[in-house]
Amino acid sequence: MANLKEVKERISSVQSTQQITKAMKMVSAAKLRRAQDKIVQMRPYSQKLTTILNNVSAASEGAADIVYAGNREVNTVLIVPITSDKGLCGAFNSNIIKATNQAIRTQFENKEIKLLPIGKKALEFSRKTKYSVKSDFADVFSDVSFDNVRAAAEYAMEAYTSGEVDKVVLVFNEFKNVATQVIRTEQFLPMQAEENGEEKTNETDYILEPSRAYIIEELVPTSLKIQFYKAILESNASEHGARMTAMDKATENAGELLKELKLMYNRTRQAAITNEILEIVAGANALG
């Protein structure tokens, strides 16, 4: 049985850890609220922009050649794994790494793979692989703004239009709620037509100025950048939700461990008192 000093030190250590996890939970909760507000506000805008683009494109009758929607043989794939910069958020980062590896093994076997990591954990993973890595945009989460994300989106779009890659895929966590994040592996390029029948039946007859082709030329890149930015916001909100849940669970576990340690401390203390009494009684009997 451990002595009193060791048990007391363990109790003190666990209490300090519990205070840290509580503080981290509170910080994550505050950040989550802001990140959740951003993604909730972004979703309707992104969906409406996509709907308008699909309606205009469907009615164009080939008037505009959308360079981001071409179908060609896929030889090179650019995968964009989106993780966080820090750990202590449960399986948030490891799930993205697993999903990336699974996509490479199952969907893109025998294809040339290039990686565009977003987040420091994704960068660490990418550098351990044998694939070509573009690390210029790994620190996007240090300042989650549209301007920073736009640079990464433009790189992916330029790589596709120049023929450097034939497909671009995003791997990220979609935010559902504080306790639930859904892993998404979405094709970013080439663009895919919406399969939602409801949207097709609600097509709108737009009056476009100066021309339909010009509008599509301007609207398509903007829509793609918004889609990329939305994935970043989804991941950002998911990260704080995952960390908040992980720290809440860690705080609960620390509380349970404290109960066990305090019980052990009391038992050890009682055993030490009993031994002292027995020694005193034995000494008194020996003197008598």
Using an 8 Å Cβ cutoff, are 115 and 134 in contact? yes
Of 123-127, 207-211, 240-244, 269-273, the poorest mean pLDDT is in 207-211
CATH code: domain of residue 17: 1.10.287.80
Residue 109 belongs to what domain range? 29-194+204-244
Q: Is the same domain home to 55 and 72?
A: yes
Number of domains in the chain: 2
Q: Is the same domain home to 57 and 189?
A: yes
CATH code: domain of residue 209: 3.40.1380.10
Whether 225 has a pLDDT exceeding 70, the answer reads yes
Quote the pLDDT of residue 282.
Answer: 84
Residue 285 resides in a domain: no
Q: Is the same domain home to 190 and 267?
A: no
Q: Is the same domain home to 73 and 166?
A: yes
Whether 27 has a pLDDT exceeding 80, the answer reads yes
Q: Is the same domain home to 124 and 233?
A: yes
Q: Is the same domain home to 9 and 128?
A: no
Q: Is the same domain home to 18 and 118?
A: no
Known catalytic residue at 272: no
110-166 pLDDT per residue, tens: 899 999 999 999 999 999 999 999 998 999 998 888 988 999 999 999 999 999 999
Higher-pLDDT residue of 58 and 104 is 104
Residue 287 resides in a domain: no
Residue 286 resides in a domain: no
Residue 284 resides in a domain: no
Q: Is the same domain home to 163 and 176?
A: yes
Which one is catalytic: 89, 123, 178, 246? 89
Q: Is the same domain home to 239 and 250?
A: no
Residue 55 resides in a domain: yes
Q: Is the same domain home to 57 and 190?
A: yes
Q: How would you list the strands of the sheet with 180-189, edge to edge?
A: 132-133, 112-115, 76-81, 167-177, 180-189
Whether 194 has a pLDDT exceeding 70, the answer reads no
Tell if the pTM clears 0.85, that is, is over it: no
Q: Is the same domain home to 141 and 262?
A: no
Q: Please give, one letter per residue, the 3-state secondary structure of 104-134.
A: HHHCCCCCEEEECCECHHHHHHHHCCCCEEC
Q: Is the same domain home to 65 and 18?
A: no
Averaged confidence pLDDT in the chain: 87
